[in-house]
A and B are shown apart, each in its own frame.
Chain A
Amino acid sequence: MPNARSHMDDRRPVPFRGGGFSPMPVRYAAAIGFAVLLAIWELAVRRGLVSPIFLPAPSTIVAALGDLWRAGTLWQHVSQSLVRLAGGWCLGTAAGLAAGLLMGVWSLGRAVGVPFVSALFPIPKISLLPLLILWLGIGEASKIATIALGVFFPTAIAAYTAIDAVPRNLIRMAQSFGLPAGDVLRKIVLPGALPGILAGFRISTSIALILLVSAEMIGAQYGIGAFVLQAGNLMLTDQLLAGVLLISLLGLMLGAGLGRLERHLLRWR
C-alpha cells in the first residue's frame, strides 16, 4: 500500500496488481458444501440409485448414532476411547519431544537417534500386536502403548527438524551477546522450533485417531475403534459409518483445539 501511494504522488496512477493468492476466510462455504454433498447422497439412496447395502443414507447413519445414544453406550464408547487417546498421545508426545530435543541439539544424540527413528518408524504397529499382548497383556497398557508408539515417531521427527530449522544467525547472535547455553535453548531455540512442533502435533493427533482402531483390536469391549471393528465384522454398514463419523468429529474437535493452542502460543509472531 505505501508503494501505491508513492506512485500516486508522481501523478502516474498505477493500478495495484497484487491480490489473489491470499486465502480469505469465506463464511459458511464449508457448511454449504457439506450440506449439498449430504443432500445428493441422501437423495441418491432414497431414489434407489445406490443400494443401502453399499452406502447407507446419512439419515440412517444419524439414526444409528441415535440408537447408540438411547442405548446409553455412546458415552461408554467415547469416554473409553478418549482415555486411551489422551494416555497414548501424552506418553508418545512426551517421549517424542525428549528424543527430538536430544537429536536436535546434541550431535551424539543425533548420530544415534536418526538411524534408529528411520529404522523403527516404518514398522506397522499392527504387526506388533501379538508381541504387545505378550508384553503388556490385553488391558489398557497395550492399547495405550500402541497409540504412544504411533505418536512417538512423528513427534520426534517434527521436533528434531523444527529445532534444526531455527535460523543459525539468531543462535549465533545470542551467543555473541554472551547468553548462556540454557537461555539460548529456552529463549531462542525452543520458541523458534515451536511452530514446527505444533504442526507435528496436528499429524500426531490424527495418527493417534487412526491407531485407535488398531489399539482397540486387542480385546476391547468398548471404545469407538472397537465399535467400528464390530460393525465391520457384522456387516452393519450404517453403524460402521456412524463410528467413522464419531472418529472424524473427534479429529475435527482436536484440530480446532490445536488451532486455538497455536494462536495462543504463537502470539509473538
Chain B
Amino acid sequence: MIRLSRRAAVAGALAALSAPSVLRAQTLRKTSVGVLRLSSSGPVFIAAERGYWREAGLDVELKFFTAAQQVPVAVTSGDTEFGVTGLTASFFNLAGKGALKIVASQSREAKGFPLVAYMVTNAAYEKGFRSVRDFAGKRVGITTTGSTFHYELGLLAKKYGFDLSAVTLVPLQTLPNMQAAFKGGQVDAILAPVTLARALTADGSGRILAWAGDETPWQLGALFTSPRAIAEKRDVVERFVRGYLRGTSDFNAAFNQRDAAGNEVRGTNFAETIGVVARAVQQAPELVAVGLPFVDALGRLDVGDIYNQIAFWQQAGLVGKDVTGKEIVDLSFVRGHLNVPKN
C-alpha cells in the first residue's frame, strides 16, 4: 500500500504500471546482504541475478566476505542489513547480545549430500582407526574452536556415545594448515570440505570414513538480520525474505532433486542455474556441481537443531549461559518451520 502511494506521488499510478522498469528504479528500497562466495549462498545469487528482489521492490547490494565469522559482525556493525552464512559459536555470542535474529534457513547437512568428510590418514587407518566410532583418544584437526566442524564432531560424539573431551581437537585456523598437518601425519583425522576431501583421496594421502550429512544432519546456515531492522522496517525484511525464498525454491528445484534410489537427478534449469552460482563463486561450473548443499525450498529452519547448537556451545563453555534460542530465532517470516521445540 505504501509502495503504491509513493509511486503515485512520483508519476501517477497509471504511468507506473505502463513503464515499470524506469519508475520502479526510483522507488526501490536500497538494502544489502553479506555473503561468502560459496555455493551454499546460491539462493542469494539466484535471487539477485533473476531480479526476484527487484520485483519485491528492493535494490539489494551483495557484499562479499571471506570468512563465516565476518558476516554476523558486518550485520552487527550495520555494514549490511542482512547476512547469510554458517552458524558458529561466534554467531550465537553476537546474537545473544541482542545483535542478530535468524529469520530463514540457508543450507542444511542432509543425507545424500556430501559436504564435509571425516577423513583419516593412511597411517591412522592402518592402526585401526576405521570407523567414525573410533574418534576417542585421537588427534583431530579442525579450523577453529567454535567452528561448524567442532559442532559436527560434537554431534558425532553424541550419536555414537564417545566422549568429546577424549578427542584432542587441534585448531589449525586455515584449510591449508589442516591439509599440511594431515599430509605430514601430525593429526590422525580432519574434517574436510568436499573439495579438499576429494583432493586428499585423489593423491592417496587419506581415506574418507563418512560424510557428516549422512551421519548427523543439522541446520548448517541461516539468513539473519538485526532485531532493530525487524522492529523498525518489518516490510523490508518481509520483502527481502520473499525474494530470498524464490531463490531457495529455484536452488532446490535445480540441485536437490533425487530419484527413488537416492541418486542425483538434474533438476529444473540445472545448467543455467549452475551458471549463475558458478559466476558468483568464481569457479568452474563442473567444480561447483560437486559440492552442492541441500537447501530447503521453503526456507524452513530445523529450529530444534539451533536450540541444540546453543546448548552444545554453552556446555562447552564457549557461549554465554544467558543466550536462549527463543530470543535468537524469529519464526514469523517463514511458515511451517521444522522441529519447533514446544517451549
Contacts of A14 in B (CB 8 A): none
Residue of A nearest to B97 (CB): A53
Asked whether, in the complex, the Cβ of A130 is within 8 Å of the Cβ of B176, the reply is: yes
Q: A52-B97, A53-B76, A233-B69 are in contact. Are A137 and B186 (CB under 8 A)?
A: yes
Asked whether, in the complex, the Cβ of A229 is within 8 Å of the Cβ of B93, the reply is: no
Partner of B170, one of A53, A131, A134, A138: A138
Contacts of A234 in B (CB 8 A): 89-90, 93, 145-146, 318-319
Residue of B97, B169, B170, B181 ringed by the most chain A CB atoms within 10 A: B181
Asked whether, in the complex, the Cβ of B172 is within 8 Å of the Cβ of A233, the reply is: no
Interface SS of chain A: loop
Contacts of B176 in A (CB 8 A): 129-130
Asked whether, in the complex, the Cβ of B180 is within 8 Å of the Cβ of A133, the reply is: yes
CA distance A26 to B229 in the complex (A): 52
Contacts of A139 in B (CB 8 A): 186
Asked whether, in the complex, the Cβ of B76 is within 8 Å of the Cβ of A219, the reply is: no
CA distance A53 to B76 in the complex (A): 9
A230 proximal to B (CB < 8 A): yes
Asked whether, in the complex, the Cβ of A230 is within 8 Å of the Cβ of B144, the reply is: yes
CA distance A129 to B186 in the complex (A): 14
Partner of B180, one of A52, A131, A226: A131
Contacts of A53 in B (CB 8 A): 76, 94, 97, 99
Residue of A nearest to B182 (CB): A133
Q: How far is the CB of B227 from chain A (nearest CB, A)?
A: 13
Which chain A residues numbered 113 to 154 have a C-beta less than 8 Å away from chain B? 129-131, 133-134, 137-139
Residue of A129, A131, A138 ringed by the most chain B CB atoms within 10 A: A138
Q: A53-B99, A129-B177, A234-B89 are in contact. Are A138 and B172 (CB under 8 A)?
A: yes
Contacts of B172 in A (CB 8 A): 133, 138, 217-219
Asked whether, in the complex, the Cβ of B145 is within 8 Å of the Cβ of A230, the reply is: yes
Contacts of B173 in A (CB 8 A): 217, 229
Contacts of B181 in A (CB 8 A): 133, 138, 219
Asked whether, in the complex, the Cβ of A235 is within 8 Å of the Cβ of B90, the reply is: yes
Contacts of A52 in B (CB 8 A): 97
Q: A137-B186, A234-B93 are in contact. Are A54 and B180 (CB under 8 A)?
A: no
CA distance A220 to B172 in the complex (A): 8
A256 proximal to B (CB < 8 A): no
CA distance A235 to B323 in the complex (A): 14
B106 proximal to A (CB < 8 A): no
What's the interface size class on A, roughly?
20 to 34
Which chain B residues numbered 114 to 144 have a C-beta less than 8 Å away from chain A? 141, 144
CA distance A78 to B283 in the complex (A): 44
A236 proximal to B (CB < 8 A): yes
Residue of A54, A131, A235 ringed by the most chain B CB atoms within 10 A: A235
CA distance A219 to B145 in the complex (A): 11
Contacts of B90 in A (CB 8 A): 233-235
Partner of A218, one of B91, B93, B177: B177
Q: How far is the CB of B2 from chain A (nearest CB, A)?
A: 31
CA distance A134 to B319 in the complex (A): 34
Asked whether, in the complex, the Cβ of B69 is within 8 Å of the Cβ of A219, the reply is: no
Which chain B residues numbered 153 to 211 have a C-beta less than 8 Å away from chain A? 168-174, 176-177, 179-181, 183-184, 186-187
Interface string of B92-123 (1 = CB under 8 A from A): 01100101000000000000000000000000
CA distance A218 to B168 in the complex (A): 14
Partner of A54, one of B77, B88, B171, B174: B77
Asked whether, in the complex, the Cβ of A233 is within 8 Å of the Cβ of B145, the reply is: yes
Binding site for B on A (CB under 8 A): 52-54, 129-131, 133-134, 137-139, 217-221, 226, 229-230, 233-236
10 residue pairs A–B, Cβ–Cβ below 8 Å: A53-B97, A129-B177, A130-B177, A138-B170, A221-B169, A233-B88, A233-B144, A234-B93, A235-B73, A235-B93
Interface pairs A-B: 7 shortest CB-CB: A235-B90, A130-B180, A219-B170, A133-B180, A233-B144, A138-B186, A235-B93
Q: A129-B176, A134-B183, A219-B187 are in contact. List 8 more A-B contacts (CB 8 A).
A: A53-B99, A133-B177, A137-B186, A218-B177, A233-B69, A233-B146, A235-B89, A235-B93
